[in-house]
Amino acid sequence: MQVKNFNNLPKIELHLHLDCSLSYNVVNKIDSNIDIDEYKSSFQAGSSCSSLKEYIKCADRAIELMQTKENLELIVEDLFAQLFNDNVIYAEIRFAPLLHCEQGLDSQKVVEIICRTAQAQSKKYKIDYGLILCTLRHYNERESLQTVKLVDKFRKNGVVGFDIAADEAGYPIDNHIEAFNYAKKNSINITAHAGEAKGPESIWETINDLHAKRIGHGVRCIEDKKLVHFLAENNYHLEICLSSNIKTNTFYSFKDHPLNQIYNSSISLSLNTDGRTISDTSLSKEYLIAKEKFKWDNNMILQSNLNAVEHAFTSVKIKNKLRKLLNSAY
């Protein structure tokens, strides 16, 4: 079965930022003064950005709206509706709790609100999920430790992992080593953004100093043959986001993107959206890009989903359920 419209096929999403994925409907509901033109100019990246740093700035307006209990609830509800319409059956949703404390909420309350709302929406839409808390590159050591300890505190409430995101090229990892050591010591699942705005050296340090077995993006591994071999031989997983990699100017065009080189190197990878709003995309759109620009067939898309299941931060029971759904659909 070869299909051009991927909407009806079940999907797994491992790399999805909450603050980069607000639909126009929820933005306009929160602030009716924001019309569609302002939404496109302020919340979306357009055809491309000059850098990852510029791409990230597109989330600033969204974060301004994500400062109250009511708005956070609306935004989580909206994202689950988007996932349902995209036929996503399992999603790991990441956010940085410390970004949402500008109007009276503290970071613990932020996590409580999102955990509670996600649990309710998961039941409503029958979508399995996990939440990943992000520290950010520009945070200090105290803020990074504060974030990882929230992961520890809410592990029984839907929080499944710890991540580092934001301006990879602008800040070293020094402030975050202690937090990731804490994560490793306490058996917290780790993923980390690397190999997007910087080259293979960023991936190596993420592996060696942050203990990550999953890499957010990681596409610039292709610049180091030794690293490519290491990732394949040791079953590391790359969370690849095609549209995002073009929008951030990691690669100039899809012709330059090494997706097939990475796939053919036997590195485990999955396709993801990164920021549904900023990149103006969905998983269905990303699969269509893989088909049209990279000549992927359904078996390759199925394999990327099965890879995602294998590396998902969830239970064996849920993984078995997801595999069954995927194999029966593709």
Rounded distance between C-alpha atoms, residue 275 and residue 4, angstroms: 23
Q: What share of the chain is helix, strand, coil (3-state, %, to 5)?
A: 55, 15, 30
Residues 53 and 197: their CA atoms lie apart, in Å, by 9
| Six-digit token string for 16 | 């999805």
Contact 293, 243 (CB under 8 A): no
Angle value at C-alpha 168, between 162 and 170, nearest 5 degrees? 135
The amino acid occupying position 71 is N
Nearest 5°: the CA angle 203, 210, 167 is: 60
User: E-assigned strands of the chain?
Assistant: 11-17, 88-95, 128-136, 159-165, 191-194, 214-217, 237-240, 268-271
- The yes-or-no answer on residue 196 being catalytic is yes
Residue 208 C-beta-side C-alpha neighbours within 13 Å: 9
- The rounded Cα 70 to chain-centroid distance in angstroms is 23
Catalytic residue among 13, 168, 196, 286: 196
Report CA-CA distances (Å) from 275 to 23, 177, 210, 242, 255. 11, 26, 24, 11, 21
Tell me how far the alpha carbon of residue 287 is from its chain's centroid.
Answer: 16
Which residues carry out catalysis? 196
